[in-house]
Chains A and B, each alone.
Chain A
């Protein structure tokens, strides 16, 4: 299909699925005529019309709620939350409704919706255009949480999410939208939701990340390579379900583990990864399981010096890798 950036891969995936299945719809704020604030739905309104590309009022709970209702009668809605920071009003509809409908009806009803939300910082978005929200939702049984870090993964995983019979929260890092360009496979390109990807093989320590942090970890690993330290980088890609086997297999080989995320440290998803490793790879560990994360402050600072301090960076990650490697 040619080279694409992640934003284009997202758009291609939605377009292909809408062409394949007329039950697939898009709804959200500014998704229609404007084509989304990042352009993810650019051109869809002209192509598919207002009955399949719905510009909604500013009402996140309502957007997810109508997506659930439409899904209950056989439609396949893709609901866009304009920024992950604004998903919180929809928490009840996602957590108590979408994620629980199959369970509380003993399988009589299911909610095959996708909720797309651009997330993440390092873009001078300040407190309300920078948040990482994955930990809230990865906690919830019944929901799947996908965080692609490459254009090709975003394409294949989003198509799989649209065809998934359960609700999927699909988190797209804003800084990754236009960060890298790569070849996206032609044809019916579907990637299974679940398996992690080993992005770089290494022997001295294992580093686990998702979204933008995957790229920063790869940069840090490159630097460590020049210092003679071989670092393995695993892109988790989906947090729920979590690919425990790949994580444990990697740690058992390297003996050291690090988790990197830009969400704040305490109660972040890194804690789940660390606990899994501590319990099930304890005998293989040759050092503490280390977390590199943002500090526990209420939001991503707006000013540059503090935003830089808040965000894990390739340099900070490299330094943490050096220390762990030397342990």
Chain B
């Protein structure tokens, strides 16, 4: 197999994909892949994501949790994309707002919660979970995801990589280098760009003059598709197509999911200083969770009683994970010297000894 095959034809970007409209009805002519049972599963995950975020925000306000970036409003992106990849063989390379996608991909909720609480042992990614660590340095994960995908192909593994980035991340140099290298190597990778309209306070309008982030893919010689990022059925569909393309040797894809950050950048941020209330209200009317509930209610599969029951069950699940992470032992100060290198060099040994018993230097 060769990493250097001819690039694909630059196809025109498709019109924005939409399946489930904001009012809970199916778009004219749309044929969703998701069947009802599967949609219920997606709904449950989306509710879990939102309820977890709400709980964490409350805890953070009480000083019981670290700085946190919620995914509220973006649950269709987070869950619809995660459901399209196979946790057994595919890799997930997150940024930091896709917490519940990584949980769907096999990272236990108590593990990632323990990470946020600064724990060490209980925060370790279990063997066999194909999730890379949360990425804080914006877009730095993209060349790595490309290298990971290229390596999977070299090793003839039947796996693809899904990686996440935002509208802000698309301006970074590593976005260009990562996508360009993926195009050149025809790496089996899906770049999932959640355009939530905000990079902290920087609006999407300031981020780029392009009218559509999916257009960026044409410059790298692969497929770009725009999707309603608040429509879990459409997100799932386009991600499945991109994953199939990657797995069958068709190369990378860029998915530009149009969504809205219905919360703050993180718990230190106050969007009322820069966000127009009108935009927020408009986004609320396109809520990704409510539209699924409306649609399922229309089919007789959803009602207030079921919502109350699920909410209670999910809260209990989330509480359990929170409790496990909270009760996990706190790290010892000398553990600060663990994992600097595989074998600690003399200076690490000396500095550790100095910390522990004043014998180093």
Contacts and interface: CB of A to CB of B under 8 A. Distances in A.
Contacts of A142: 340-341
Interface residues of A, number: 50
B147 A105 contact: no
Interface in A93-108: 93, 96-97, 101-108
Interface in A132-149: 141-142, 144
B146 A51 contact: no
B277 interface: no
B242 to A, nearest CB: 18
Interface in B153-174: 154-155, 157, 173-174
A59 B258 CA distance: 29
A93 B120 CA distance: 24
B155 A106 contact: no
A69 B147 contact: yes
Interface in A49-72: 50-52, 54, 56-57, 59, 61-62, 64-72
* Band of interface residues on B: 35 or more
Contact of B345 (A68, A73, A105, A241): A241
Contacts, number: 147
Contact of B137 (A67, A77, A97): A97
Nearest to B143: A65
Given A51-B3, A69-B145, A69-B148, A108 B133 contact: yes
Interface in A65-93: 65-75, 77, 89, 92-93
A69 B173 contact: no
B82 interface: no
A65 B147 CA distance: 7
Nearest to A96: B137
B152 A50 contact: no
A106 B2 contact: no
A165 interface: yes
Interface in B216-256: none
Given A50-B4, A56-B181, A102 B340 contact: yes
B190 interface: no
A206 interface: no
A73 B148 contact: yes
B347 A70 contact: no
Contacts of A54: 3, 185
A110 B1 CA distance: 27
A48 to B, nearest CB: 12
A194 interface: yes
A51 B180 contact: no
A71 to B, nearest CB: 8
Interface string A187-202: 0000000100000000
Interface in B119-139: 120-121, 123-125, 132-133, 137
11 contacts: A57-B184, A59-B176, A62-B177, A66-B144, A73-B148, A93-B174, A97-B144, A106-B339, A166-B341, A240-B345, A244-B346
Q: Which 3 A-B pairs have the closest CB atoms?
A: A65-B143, A69-B147, A66-B147
Interface of A: 25, 50-52, 54, 56-57, 59, 61-62, 64-75, 77, 89, 92-93, 96-97, 101-110, 141-142, 144, 165-166, 194, 240-242, 244-245, 280
Given A65-B147, A280-B361, 5 more contacts: A54-B3, A61-B177, A92-B174, A105-B125, A106-B339
